[in-house]
Structures are given as C-alpha cells and as structure tokens.
C-alpha cells in the first residue's frame, strides 16, 4: 500500500509538471519538445508505412492511374471535373469533422465556426430567394439568387435540409472517424495487458474500481454512459452518439475496453452522428435562422432600453447587405463597408484556430515530456 501511494503521488507530481509545459510559461522548452515529438511521430509513421509497403505500392499505383486519367484529354473530362469538385467538397467537411472530435489539444469547434454558419447562410438565402437552386458556380463559394423567380412562400423546410444534407453528413462522418482513437487505444491496452499511455483510460479504470462509491454528478453520469454502452450494446452506442454528448469519448474507451466489435462501435457511431444527430442540429439551425424568427430577434434587440436601437442597427445593416449580394446588386450605389458583425466573426475564427494550433503544440510537447518521465522511471527500476 505504501508503494502504491508513493507511485500515485509521483504520477500526480509528474502530471502537474507536464501541465506547466505550455508556450506562455516555458516557450523555448515547449517548442523544443514539440519538434522532438514531431520527429519521433514521423519516424514511427515511416516505419509503419515501410511494414505495410505492399499496401503503399497499391495506393501509389491507384493514385498514378487517377492522375493519368485526370490529365488525359477526352470526353470523360466533364465527369472528372464533377467528381473532383465533389471529392474536395466532401473531404473538406470530413476533415473539419475529424478536427472537431479527434482530441488534438482541445478540439476545434468546427460546427460553430464553419458548418453552422454555412447552414445559416443557406437558410437566409433560401427564404430571401424563395429557392435553393443557387447558380453553380459561384455556389458554394458564394450564394446568389437564381435569375428565374419563384412563387412567394414556395420554399420548404425539407428543401433547405436537402440542400445542406451532403455537407452535414460528411461533417458528421468526420466526427465519427475522430472518435476511433480512444476505441483503438483502449482495445490495444486490453488485448496487450500493458499499462496504457493515456490519462483518460487510467481515469476510466479508476472509475470502474470505485463504481459503487461514486457520489458526484460527473462520476454518476460517466457510469451511466458506461453501463448503457456495456449492457445495451449497439443501440446504447447509437443513443450516446445521437445526442450532443461531451462524454462520448468514454463510450469509445468503454467499447474498446470490453472488446466490442469494431463495426458494431463504428457503425452505431456513424449512424448516430452522421444521420440522427446531424438532422437534429440542422433542424435547430434552420429553424433558428428562418426569416420570421430572425426578424423577431432583430426586433427584440431593438426593444432593449437605451442601447437597443444602437445594437439593432448593425444587425439590420448586415442583413440588408446580404440581401443586396443575393440579388446580384453588390455593385450598386449602396455603400459596402465592412460590418462589425462580420469583422468580429472573422477575428473569432482566427483566434479559435490559433488557440487550436497552440493547444496541439502544448499537447505534443507534454507527450514528449511524458516519454522522458517514463524513460527515467524505467532506468530507476533497472538499477
């Protein structure tokens, strides 16, 4: 028991030391450790690719064939251009979904920064144009109303949902892919019997040991997720993945720990996140940014005593500027000065992306510090 208490105290002290390795406290050490950890990861990935060189050769041959098809002239080029556009558009949203849930640093909130605003823009444009048949190009880079008008009130909720379904489902599929690392980590740790190099997994094992004595709300919530996934299986995972759930990483760890089959876990996660959850989130954004609700919200802002009219003005200017752009009138005599709302959102995106990058640097530097601590501990044991 004494050895156990000394070991736990040492782990706590080492964890505190690692948490202090951040750019704003130890910039030089953090950058040094980040570079060394990057080199180690590149070396490990290179070795893994070399061990799977047959797969690498097949992928290289497939890429060479696709490249030749892409550059050879012929009647097939119209289909190549169409597939290229769709592929990069889907890859863009899948990548944003992975960044949202993969767990690098703190995760990038790509729904709030990218997908949510895209759905809101399409919704506002659909109600203004009474159509979702936006000209392509410039859609999706820019949304403008089609030249042919449609009847008033002809736009439907289902039409807007269908217009953004591809982007939303690809983003949801990306978030499902981002949930795989905790599953594989826990599964590998369970099969090998080795002590996992992950604090969340260690916390999960401690939670299992003290399951019956858990009192606080957070511990009981984690236990509820763990019990649901373990006892209900596919439908339990589906239920956890279908609702906004900050504890879903625990579901991945639970499935890996109890050796749930891969396709059971990934299939339920993919359906829950890319189909059910995404339709719930889409409906929320579309209803929130429907024309009458936006007008009511702007009117409520104007009703705030004293500061209401001054706050309402930039919102009205922003909406009016968007209407002008939608109707191909951006070159009209109306001044097109930058609205402070769009300026603030752009700066918010920049700040959050920069913080995400900083969190990745800090996280990788702390991973290298953990390597050093484990190496030191191994050397002490061999003495």
Tens digits of per-residue pLDDT, 31-43? 999 999 999 989 9
> Does the pLDDT value for residue 170 go beyond 90?
yes
Lowest-pLDDT range, 23-27, 258-262, 337-341?
337-341
More confident: 189 or 24: 24
- Taking the C-alpha atoms of residue 315 and residue 319, their distance in angstroms, rounded to an integer, is 6
**What are φ and ψ of residue 108, in 5° steps?**
-100, 125
- Taking the C-alpha atoms of residue 11 and residue 372, their distance in angstroms, rounded to an integer, is 13
Section 77-81 average pLDDT: 84
Query: Chain-centre distance of CA 223, in angstroms?
Result: 25
Tens digits of per-residue pLDDT, 328-347? 654 444 444 456 667 777 78
Residue 271 confidence (pLDDT): 92
CB contact at 8 A, 230 and 254: yes
Tens digits of per-residue pLDDT, 209-243? 555 555 555 566 666 666 777 777 788 888 888 87
- Sequence ranges of the domains in the chain: 73-289
Structure tokens at 28: 């030089």
């Amino acid at each position: 028991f004494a050895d156990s208490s000394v070991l736990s105290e040492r782990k706590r002290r080492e964890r505190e030391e690692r948490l202090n390795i951040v750019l704003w406290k130890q910039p030089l050490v953090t950058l040094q450790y980040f570079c060394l950890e990057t080199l180690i990861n590149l070396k490990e990935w290179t070795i893994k690719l070399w061990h799977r060189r047959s797969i690498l050769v097949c992928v290289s041959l497939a890429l060479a064939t696709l490249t030749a098809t892409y550059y050879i002239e012929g009647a097939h080029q119209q289909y190549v251009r169409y597939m290229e556009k769709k592929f990069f558009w889907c890859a863009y949203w899948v990548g944003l979904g992975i960044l949202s849930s993969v767990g690098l640093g703190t995760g990038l909130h790509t729904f709030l920064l990218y997908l949510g605003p895209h759905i809101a823009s399409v919704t506002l444009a659909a109600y203004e144009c009474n159509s979702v048949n936006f000209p392509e190009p410039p859609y999706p880079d820019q949304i403008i109303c089609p030249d042919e008008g449609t009847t008033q009130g002809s736009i439907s909720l289902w039409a807007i949902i269908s217009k953004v379904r591809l982007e939303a489902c690809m983003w949801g599929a990306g978030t499902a892919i981002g949930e795989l690392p905790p599953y594989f980590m826990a599964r590998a740790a369970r099969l090998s019997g080795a002590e996992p190099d992950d604090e969340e997994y260690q916390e999960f094992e401690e939670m299992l040991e003290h399951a019956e004595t858990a009192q606080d709300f957070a511990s009981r919530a984690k236990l509820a997720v763990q019990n649901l996934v373990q006892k209900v299986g596919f439908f339990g995972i589906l239920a956890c993945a279908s609702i906004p759930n900050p504890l879903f990483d625990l579901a991945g760890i639970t499935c890996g720990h109890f050796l749930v089959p891969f396709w059971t876990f990934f299939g339920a996660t993919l359906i829950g996140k890319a189909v059910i959850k995404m339709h719930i989130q889409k409906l929320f954004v579309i209803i929130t940014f429907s024309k009458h609700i936006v007008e009511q919200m702007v009117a409520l802002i104007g009703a705030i005593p004293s500061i209401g009219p001054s706050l309402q003005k930039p919102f009205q200017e922003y909406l009016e500027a968007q209407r002008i752009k939608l109707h191909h009138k951006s070159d009209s005599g109306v001044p097109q000065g930058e609205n402070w709302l769009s300026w603030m959102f752009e700066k918010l995106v920049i700040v959050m992306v920069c913080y995400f990058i900083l969190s990745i640097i800090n996280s990788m530097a702390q991973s290298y510090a953990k390597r050093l601590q484990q190496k030191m501990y191994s050397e002490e044991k061999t003495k």
